[in-house]
Amino acid sequence: GRQGDPGFSRFFVSLEDSLMVRFGGEKLQKLFEKMGDEQIESKAVTKSITMAQKRVEGYNFDMRKQLLDYDDVLRRQREIIYAQRNRILESEEVHEMVHVIFEKTLDQTLQANILDEKKQTVDIPGLCKSLEMTGLTEDRAIHAQELEGLKYEEIKLHCLDRIWNDYEKEIEPVKMQFLPFEKTVVLRNIDRNWIEHIDRMDKLRSGIYLRSYAQNNPLQQYVQEGFDMFEDMNKRIDREIAFFLLKVRIRRETKA
């Protein structure tokens, strides 16, 4: 055209373009089949192409939003773990945290050996055996005779006092040197379990879309199962820290 003409743009769309195949709709497909290889210029066709473009943009937006929703689950978990790590790194009271970890591990063990939830009765032989699995060696074992006739809370207090007092007695001669070691044990267990948890979450996310075939919402399933896995990880961290520290024996050198 002449210099200064506004001109116009023309776009060419193939009928085999994935945009048209997936989002064009049945009416447009029938029109394409009817027209064959002829050039098509029509307001109706242009409108259909525009609508298809909007649908694909909406689809892509939904996909990006869904990815962000999935990422948000792990992001929140990461914030919790990092806050926990920073608290441990900056704290001078990790020894008190270890006491809490022992208590939480004991709670898990007790809950696994409850005979009657309402009456809070405990399978005492089963509890004693389970306590061995938490790291209590034979010389520190808690025996059934000690717990006979005690109620749930009394059993908990007795076991915690025994476990903690034995642990304190073991580390007392080198306590000041031992405290940094406690911090290292706690941090390493958190880090290792967190890395493994990320791998498990990736595997869960890879297969979660199959849940839609069972009429389940994949994102809701991912959120719920991801939460359960995170809770299990935290319990496992407590158990592994307790197990490692309860196995500690301080070697005392005797002077010749």
Q: What is the pLDDT of residues 34-87, one digit of tens each?
A: 655 555 555 656 666 666 666 655 555 455 555 567 888 999 999 999 999 999
Domains of the chain, residue spans: 9-69, 91-246
Please tell me the pTM assigned to this model: 0.72
For the packed helices 152-171 and 124-133, what is the interaxial angle rounded to 10 degrees?
30
**Quick one: pLDDT at residue 117?**
79
Note the pLDDT of residue 61.
46
What is the fold, at CATH topology level, of the domain defined by 91-246? Helical scaffold and wing domains of SecA (1.10.3060)
pLDDT at 249: 85
How high is the pLDDT of residue 140? 84
Q: How far apart are CA 25 and CA 123, in angstroms?
A: 66
pLDDT-based confidence at 124, cuts 50/70/90? very high
| Per-residue pLDDT at 247 exceeds 80 | yes
DSSP conformation letters of 148-183: TT--HHHHHHHHHHHHHHHHHHHHGGGHHHHHHHHH
